[in-house]
Each structure stands twice: as C-alpha cells, then as structure tokens.
C-alpha cells in the first residue's frame, strides 16, 4: 500500500526519453522482434512497483506485422499513474476519511465509515459493492474503497482497484480498428476489475483544443469524467444540458493498456467511478470492469458513447452524420448485431 504523503505525478514530468530513442531508430529496427521485446519490457519496468503481481502483457501483430508495425506507435509513456495538469488540484487528503476497522472490514459493520460512505450511493446493495471474490456486484455506482488512512488490512474486501490488474490482457493488432485489447487463455468472470483508465488529468478548458486535433485525425483518447452522480451533486439548479464535467482524462501522451480498448455497441466492459486516496468527489479514477463473462482470447471493449444499458440503443445515425465531418466520427466497425453504426453518438 502507498505511504502518505502520497506522491503526486505532474503532466509536465511525463518521461519521453524512451519514445525519443525508439523514434530515432531506423524503421528496420522498429519493425524487429527487439522492438517488441523492448515494448513489453517497458511495460514491466514502468508498472512493477504499483502492480507487482500483474500478469505479463504481450504485444501481438499477426495481421500485418511482417510489413508494418510490430508494436503500437512509440508516442506515449506507459504508466498506471494519473498525471496532473498544472491547473488540476492534487489529491484532496483533507476531506479523505478512513475507517477505524481492524483486520478485515465486516460487510455487516455498523461502524465502518467506508461502508457508510458507500451506502450513501448504493444503499440498495447490502454490504460492500464487491462480493467475496472481489467482483463488482452492480455497475454504475461510484465505488469508495478503503484507503491509506484506514485501519484495516491490505487484503480487506473493500480494496480491489488499488491492488491492480489480476487478469491477463494482450495488446493485439486487429484487422480493421488498429490495436485492441484481448483476454488471455483464461476466462474473465463478470464483474472483474480489468484496469484503470490512466493518463493525464486535464481541466475541461484545456481539453477543448486537444479534442479538436484528435477529432480531425480520427483517433481520440479523451475520457470525460461526467458520471451521473456528479451532475446531481452539482445542485438542482444546474441545467442538465449545460452541466460540464470539470476534468477529462487524456491517455494520448501517457497511459496503460486501457488506451487501446476499442469501442463496441455491445461491450463486454464498462467504466466505473472509483475513489481510493482521493477526497475530491469530482476527481474519480475511471476503473474498467467486465459487464459479463469474457471468453478466452475475446476482445475487450467498452462503449465510447457511454451507452451501457441492456436495452436496445437508439439509432441516431443521421444526427451524427449531420453533426460534423471530423474523422473521429467514422463508421463503427465493432461488428455487434446491434451496432448503431457510429462510435460516438
């Protein structure tokens, strides 16, 4: 577990020497097996402290690896950290509360303050939001994990996201959507934690210009922290249409494997807001969980349009088409039976 005072990572310090070195090599080297080994080694090197037990991530291109790229572009720093932009406040430890439990927190406790905090948002779910196997009982609610101020043990049931990735995932080239993320040989049960959407935490204002560029080139890694309960806590007088998330995660310059998760209109994963060592409700960590059992070797995807219900999605193709001609609004190639035709709608 992290020791306080917690280290804060700033976007201005995102390392780039490895990317610079690799990009200075000739194309022959960047297409060699050595470059693939290097990419995998960088992942281990940059994550072994925060995820010492996470299974190995392989880079696989069996689509066009001979002629094209053996790795994704060396354009980002691989990391599980949240890199704060200068106008984003560091984690709020003043408003962070820890429980006084000893040993393991009891899901029937009347005194555990973390359980009470959780029930402010999910009072219809008895006990913690995780079951005894650490799986999410229900999606959509913010998760309040035990934190470094708590008296409970590191393996308390209410600590899942902070323990890091437990399942194998591989970064694999797809035939039509660029790189994607695939399960390993093991099935991943419904409700399992996959990874956090790491990256640069930006203010909404700062995101505007980046968004325009990403939309034009047709590849975006922005994730707005616009969870529904944040709208509610902003007060009743805030018009829903006018409400804007304060912060956005950008995984373009720094991020982990989750930046390669492609969109699906019938996704097997979904993002969930989670808090560990953060007392600021507006700065949740985006944690990805499976929303159904994932078969061995299956591609992991989530919905970029935020659609998560089990009902049929609305098809608003015409609106999206009329909206603008940016490359990012290209046709969706998820292949799901109920594909709406577009990634962002």
Ligand X SMILES: C[S@@+](CC[C@H](N)C(=O)[O-])C[C@H]1O[C@@H](n2cnc3c(N)ncnc32)[C@H](O)[C@@H]1O
Instruction: Give residues in contact with ligand X (CB under 6 A).
Output: 177-180, 218-221, 259-260, 262-263, 328, 332-334, 343
Least distance to ligand X, CB of residue 167, Å: 19
Least distance to ligand X, CB of residue 243, Å: 24
What are the residues facing 285 on neighbouring strands? 274
Torsion of CA 236, 242, 248, 252, to 10 degrees: 160
How far, in Å, CA of 283 to CA of 273, rounded?
9
Q: Taking the mean position of all CA atoms in its chain, how far away is CA 117?
A: 23
Q: Which is nearer to ligand X, 204 or 326 (CB)?
A: 326
Per DSSP (E only), the strands in 160-225 are 169-173, 179-183, 193-196, 199-203, 222-224
> Is 19:76 a contact under the CB 8 Å cutoff?
yes
33-47 and 17-24 helices, crossing angle to 10°: 180
Q: Which is nearer to ligand X, 30 or 159 (CB)?
A: 30
Q: Which is nearer to ligand X, 106 or 224 (CB)?
A: 224
What are the residues facing 299 on neighbouring strands? 182
> Is 265:336 a contact under the CB 8 Å cutoff?
yes
Least distance to ligand X, CB of residue 87, Å: 24
Least distance to ligand X, CB of residue 17, Å: 22
Least distance to ligand X, CB of residue 109, Å: 40
- The length of the chain, given as a count of residues: 345
Q: Which is nearer to ligand X, 152 or 301 (CB)?
A: 301
Least distance to ligand X, CB of residue 61, Å: 11
How far, in Å, CA of 331 to CA of 344, rounded?
9
Q: Which is nearer to ligand X, 25 or 63 (CB)?
A: 63
* β-bridge pairing 82-84 and 222-224: unpaired
Structure tokens that stand for 148 in this block: 């470094």
Q: Which is nearer to ligand X, 230 or 334 (CB)?
A: 334
Q: Which is nearer to ligand X, 105 or 301 (CB)?
A: 301
Least distance to ligand X, CB of residue 255, Å: 9
Q: What are phi and psi of 95, to 5 degrees?
A: -95, 5
Residue nearest ligand X, Cβ-based: 178
């Amino acid at each position: 577990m992290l020791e306080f005072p917690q280290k804060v990572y700033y976007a201005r310090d995102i390392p780039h020497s490895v990317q610079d070195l690799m990009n200075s090599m000739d194309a022959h080297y960047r297409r060699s097996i050595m470059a693939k080994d290097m990419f995998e080694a960088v992942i281990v090197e940059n994550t072994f402290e925060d995820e010492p037990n996470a299974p190995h991530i392989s880079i696989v291109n069996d689509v066009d690896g001979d002629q094209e790229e053996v790795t994704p572009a060396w354009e980002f720093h691989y990391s599980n950290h949240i890199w704060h932009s200068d106008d984003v406040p560091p984690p709020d430890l003043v408003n962070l509360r820890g429980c006084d439990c000893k040993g393991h927190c009891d899901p029937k406790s009347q005194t555990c303050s973390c359980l009470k905090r959780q029930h402010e948002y999910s009072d219809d779910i008895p006990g913690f939001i995780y079951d005894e196997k650490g799986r999410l009982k229900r999606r959509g609610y913010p998760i309040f994990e035990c934190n470094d101020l708590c008296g409970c043990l590191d393996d308390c049931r209410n600590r899942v996201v902070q323990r890091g990735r437990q399942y194998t995932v591989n970064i694999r080239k797809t035939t039509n959507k660029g790189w994607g993320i695939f399960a390993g040989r093991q099935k991943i049960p419904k409700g399992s934690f996959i990874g956090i959407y790491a990256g640069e935490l930006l203010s909404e204002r700062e995101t505007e210009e980046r968004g325009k560029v990403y939309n034009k080139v047709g590849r975006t890694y922005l994730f707005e922290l616009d969870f529904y309960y944040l709208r509610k806590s902003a007060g009743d007088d805030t018009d829903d249409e006018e409400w804007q998330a304060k912060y956005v995660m950008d995984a373009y310059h720094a991020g982990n494997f989750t930046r390669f998760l492609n969109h699906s209109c019938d996704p097997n994963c979904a993002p969930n807001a989670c808090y560990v060592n953060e007392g600021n409700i507006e700065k949740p960590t985006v944690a990805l969980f499976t929303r159904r059992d994932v078969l061995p070797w299956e591609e992991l995807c989530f919905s970029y349009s935020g659609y998560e219900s089990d009902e049929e999605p609305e098809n608003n193709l015409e609106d999206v088409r009329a909206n603008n001609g940016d490359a990012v609004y290209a046709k969706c190639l998820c292949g799901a039976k109920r594909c709406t035709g577009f990634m962002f709608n």
